[in-house]
Structure 1
Amino acid sequence: MKNLILTTAALALTAGIAMAETVRMGTEGAYPPYNFINDAGEIDGFERELGDELCKRASLDCEWVKNDWDSIIPNLVSSNYDTIMAGMSITDERDEVIDFTQNYLPPTASVFVATSADVDTASGVIATQTSTTQASYVADSGATLVEFATPEETIAAVRNGEADAVFADKDYLLPIVGESGGELVIVGEDIPLGDGVGLGLRESDGELQGKFNDAITSMKDDGSLNEMIVKWFGEDAPRY
């Protein structure tokens, strides 16, 4: 009986080790070029390519999990996946709940977009995606904040007159403005927010955090991260 118990315990330990080798990467899949669902129904974008390379360098077996933005931090904390890689800016507020790696994208600009350049973004109705750094900025600005679950809904709110402008990452909004045929325009100057974009992890996963930090450092050192940033965001994107 004792041998059976020991054998069972050993098998359980082995299974635990095997499970630990698979890291579930949580992302939104709705925020190009950071992450999106391609025509084949697969998660794609800058963070998919980068995440796969980081996992390779860290000798991790990673699989991708799609999760809505508004529950992406609670579901990480609840262990429904092991990381967040979803264009998430590193902020003090979020860092009170989860941990972050070093940034894999430098701080980038946010902008207002509207149907007219004359919109008053200081006192108007501004649409943002819920629980974002942009939502916090608008809430503190004196403008009227309206939040939506998805980035697509923020654009629709401007087009249908529900909001005067949308405030989001310039990298996300710029292609939409370009494809609008003049219907949408950028209003005002670029506004930098946050401390760059990093992987979110549970506070208890310090070892995993270290592995990803080492992988990010190696990509910064050999220039491959800058090459990937240019590929997805263009020559004008901030780099390391």
Structure 2
Amino acid sequence: MSKLLSRLLAASLGFAACFSTLPAKAGDLEAIKEAGEMKIAMSGQYPPFNFVNDQNQVVGFDASIGMEIAKRLGVEGEIVTTAWDGIIAGLLASKYDTIVGSMTITPEREKVVDFVGPYYHAGRAVFVMEDSEVQALGDLKGQTLGVTLGETHEKWAREQGGWDIRTYKGLPELLLELKSGRLDAIVVDNIPVRVAIKETGDKLRMLDTPDIEGGAVAIGIAIRKNSPELKAAMQEALDAMMEDGTYEKISMEWIGSDIR
């Protein structure tokens, strides 16, 4: 099964790569301004960064950052939710204008998209239930790990080997499966899980993994390549947000600390 999934992921990246060779449409920034809106993609499955609230609205840190950038470009922002494993292909197919979805900047992704930012930094972490006998990463050999399909954490987990890997759409499912006992551990970004633990009181514990790959990673905003005007305008808007206190206000609202 793991070999099959690896082939599927490789095929997905190849599909995205073929789009990257296509010439960009004339002026993505111009097209956005002519339309009067910027379509902003995210999974909607990654609280507190992006999730669907009780009013069926997509909210969170990513949503607020994306909408503020759209505002500063002089257009309306429209949130588009889509499955994470196909989100880059959707961008390259022009289904939306940008991805503000807590995407890790990697060399592989930089081959097919450009990034604005980084707009925050995060780190890979492994969480278990508080009463778990697992004390170190090595204790998980032969056990079941949960990851979000298409994230860099999945790639890392498969490269390590030695455990059973199950993939899910996002953090809510991962936490539910861990608490139900169907997973022994989850591999995720530490910030959203820390926030979830604070809000719910769930008895989870983060393993001490000081040398884990991806312990500190840059998170960027993805746009199509060959869009220098859009990239410059979005970077200028992001920089201004960080300088005038807007970024800190958004960060404190959703995360509880300044994560730039």
Matched AA of 2:237:
A
Instruction: Provide the aligned length of Structure 1 versus Structure 2.
Output: 222
Structure 1 equivalent of residue 156 of structure 2: 137
Identity of aligned residues (%): 26
CA 1:132–1:17 in structure 2 vs 1: closer, same or farther (change >3 Å)?
Answer: closer
1:99 paired with 2:120, answer no
Contact 2:104 2:152 in 1 (8 A): yes
- Summarize deviations over 1:203-240 as a string: whole Å, max 9, x none: 132221111111011112223212322222123x533x
Matched AA of 1:67:
T
**What is the 5 A alignment of 1:151-170?**
151-170=171-190
For structure 1, which segment, 160-169 or 171-180, has the greater mean C-alpha deviation from structure 2 after superposition? Answer: 171-180
Contact 2:37 2:76 in 1 (8 A): yes
Counterpart Cα distance in 2 of 1:175 and 1:143: 30
- Give the counterpart of 2:92 among 60, 74, 77: 77
- Cα distance, 1:61 vs. partner? 2.8
Structure 2 equivalent of residue 204 of structure 1: 226
CA 1:59–1:139 in structure 2 vs 1: closer, same or farther (change >3 Å)?
Answer: same
CA 1:214–1:185 in structure 2 vs 1: closer, same or farther (change >3 Å)?
Answer: same
Counterpart Cα distance in 2 of 1:156 and 1:114: 12
Structure 1 equivalent of residue 137 of structure 2: 121
- Give the counterpart of 1:38 among 38, 53, 57: 53
- Summarize deviations over 1:44-96 as a string: whole Å, max 9, x none: 11122221211111223321211121211111111111111111111111111
CA 1:18–1:186 in structure 2 vs 1: closer, same or farther (change >3 Å)?
Answer: closer
CA 1:118–1:17 in structure 2 vs 1: closer, same or farther (change >3 Å)?
Answer: closer
Structure 2 equivalent of residue 225 of structure 1: 247
Contact 2:195 2:255 in 1 (8 A): no
Matched AA of 1:152:
P
Structure 2 equivalent of residue 187 of structure 1: 207
Contact 2:126 2:186 in 1 (8 A): yes
Contact 1:103 1:195 in 2 (8 A): no
Structure 2 equivalent of residue 109 of structure 1: 123
Alpha-carbon RMSD: 2.4
- Summarize deviations over 1:179-205 as a string: whole Å, max 9, x none: 2543x3222246554642221111132
Counterpart Cα distance in 2 of 1:56 and 1:100: 19
- Give secondary structure in 2 for the equivalent of 1:36: strand
- Summarize deviations over 1:125-170 as a string: whole Å, max 9, x none: 3211011121122223334233223323322332343332001111
CA 1:216–1:163 in structure 2 vs 1: closer, same or farther (change >3 Å)?
Answer: same
When normalised by structure 2's length, the TM-score is 0.76
Larger radius of gyration: 1
Structure 1 equivalent of residue 103 of structure 2: 88
In structure 2, stretches of 5+ residues that fail to align are 1-30
Counterpart Cα distance in 2 of 1:17 and 1:110: 34
Counterpart Cα distance in 2 of 1:27 and 1:222: 25
CA 1:188–1:17 in structure 2 vs 1: closer, same or farther (change >3 Å)?
Answer: closer
- Give secondary structure in 1 for the equivalent of 2:71: helix
Contact 1:121 1:165 in 2 (8 A): no
Contact 1:90 1:194 in 2 (8 A): no
- Give secondary structure in 2 for the equivalent of 1:86: strand
When normalised by structure 1's length, the TM-score is 0.81
Contact 1:98 1:200 in 2 (8 A): yes
